[in-house]
Every structure is written in C-alpha cells, then in structure tokens.
Amino acid sequence: MDNVTADSAYHDNIISVLDKLINQSSISRFFNTSSGDGLDRVNGQYFCRPDLDLETCNSCVTTAVPFFSQMCSNKKQAVVWYNQCMVQYTNRTVSATLQTEPSNEWASSFIVSEPDIFPDIRNKTLDDVIARALMPENKDRFATGNDTFTIWEGFYAMVWCTPDITLAECETCLNTAVDRIPEDGLAQHIVVLMPSCLLKYETVQFIFPETSTPLTPSDP
C-alpha cells in the first residue's frame, strides 16, 4: 500500500523525520535520520550542494517540507530536488545505499546553435567533472566545470553524489546519469536527478546560489 492516512503512525513518523531534517540542516549539509519501528519506520535524508553555505542549505530543506505537505501528503515515500538540495523520506533503506530510483530527466526544448560540435565539448567536459568528483581526496563528491562553446553559448556542468556512498557507487550513479541523457543530448539545458547523485549542464552560467525553486518532485 503506497498511500497513508493523516491519522496513522506512519504519517506521524513522516512529520517527525521532516522536522529532524529541518533542524539538522542548519548544522550540516548532509543528514540521514529515521523515526518509528517495523512497518511504521520512516527514513529521511537530505543533501545540500557542498559549495553553498549552511544558511542556504537550511532554507532549501525548510522550503521542501511544505512542498511535501502540499503535493505528497498521502504518499508513503517521496523525493524532491531543488537547485540547492535533495530531500526525501521513504520506508526503504537510504543510509549508505546507492539509489538510482526514483529518477527524473528533464531537457530544455531549445537546441544548441552548433549541434555538430556540441557533443565533443559536452562529453569532454562531463568526463572531466566526473573524474574530479571521483578523486579520492574530493570528500564532497562534487565538481563543476565549463568550456567555451560558441560566441553566444558556453557550456557549464555540475555533478555531485551523496557522501555516504562509496567512490565506486558514485561512479556507477554518475555513469547511469550520463546514460540517461536524452539520446541526441543537444538541448541547451539537461538535468538528470537521482537520490544518490545529480548531473546538470546548461549553455548559460548557473553555478551560484539561487532561490529555492524545485527542479522536480517524485513519488516512487
């Protein structure tokens, strides 16, 4: 059964977990927690972009919670991705677990101006940022990069993995994200979202603090 009622123990545990996530988000950029036992146990997790300050992290997680209440109030599990963070609750194990589902892929309807030369620039830059995210000394599992594309367009990429999975699992997650880029991959903006990692690129600069606008929610 995927739905829960407002008077259930499971729903109470969702509220408890989300409150814990909000409270911790002013202290750390990554956190796992749980509430309840047995079939009523709820596991929760958030992860904020490592390049952002804790105030931004707390703001993002705090913004996500009412979004859950509005859009997923009767769901046993749900995840939402923002430009600054990922937040989820579920009855599945999340701590130190590679999660590639649920996932979402989104591509802009606008195509790059030079489709013949774009794939080489995209692939080279993505290979570079993924390699840097996977360096053992990179404890944040986060990397950004850019390249010159045309006079009017650049290429800006960002990848990150949650810090609780292994380097091998992070590599698997990011390679899975690359595989989920739409077949032609020529959109000006593409984002691939999974609970354990994220891949995003655009032809305009986006790697700076932004207002908390959800990329997409999902209920498995």
Domain stop point among 63, 94, 125? 94
pTM confidence score: 0.87
Q: Name which of 160, 4, 9 is nearest 84 in CA terms.
A: 160
pLDDT higher than threshold 70 for residue 67 = yes
Residues 115, 26 share a domain: no
Q: What is the pLDDT of residue 9?
A: 94
pLDDT higher than threshold 90 for residue 214 = no
Domain annotation covers residue 143: yes
Q: Name which of 105, 99, 96, 85 is nearest 178 in CA terms.
A: 105
List, as one string, the DSSP characters of the chain.
--B--TTSHHHHHHHHHHHHHHHHTTT-SEEEEEES-GGG-EEEEEEE-TTS-HHHHHHHHHHHHHHHHHH-TTBS-EEEEESSEEEEEESS--TT-----S-EEEE-SPBPS-TTTHHHHHHHHHHHHHHHHT-TT-TT-EEEEEEE-SSS-EEEEEEEE-TTS-HHHHHHHHHHHHHTS-SS--BSEEEEEETTEEEEEESS---S-----EEEEE--
> What percentage of the chain has pLDDT greater than the value 70?
93
Domain annotation covers residue 23: yes
Higher pLDDT, 86 or 208: 86
pLDDT higher than threshold 90 for residue 191 = yes
CATH code of the domain in which 179 resides: 3.30.430.20
What is the rounded average pLDDT for all residues in the chain? 89
pLDDT digit string, tens, across residues 109-156: 899 989 999 999 999 999 999 999 999 999 999 999 999 888 888 899
CA–CA separation, 130 and 140 (whole Å): 12
Domain annotation covers residue 1: no
Domain annotation covers residue 42: yes
Q: What is the pLDDT of residue 215?
A: 52
pLDDT higher than threshold 60 for residue 190 = yes
List, as one string, the DSSP characters of 37-84.
-GGG-EEEEEEE-TTS-HHHHHHHHHHHHHHHHHH-TTBS-EEEEESS
Domain stop point among 94, 127, 144? 94
Domain annotation covers residue 2: no
pLDDT digit string, tens, across residues 153-172: 889 999 999 999 999 999 99
The average pLDDT across 19-35 equals: 96
Domain annotation covers residue 44: yes
Domain stop point among 94, 116, 131? 94
What distance lies between CA 90 and its chain's CA centroid? 15
Number of domains in the chain: 2
* Parent domain of 132: 104-216
Domain annotation covers residue 99: no
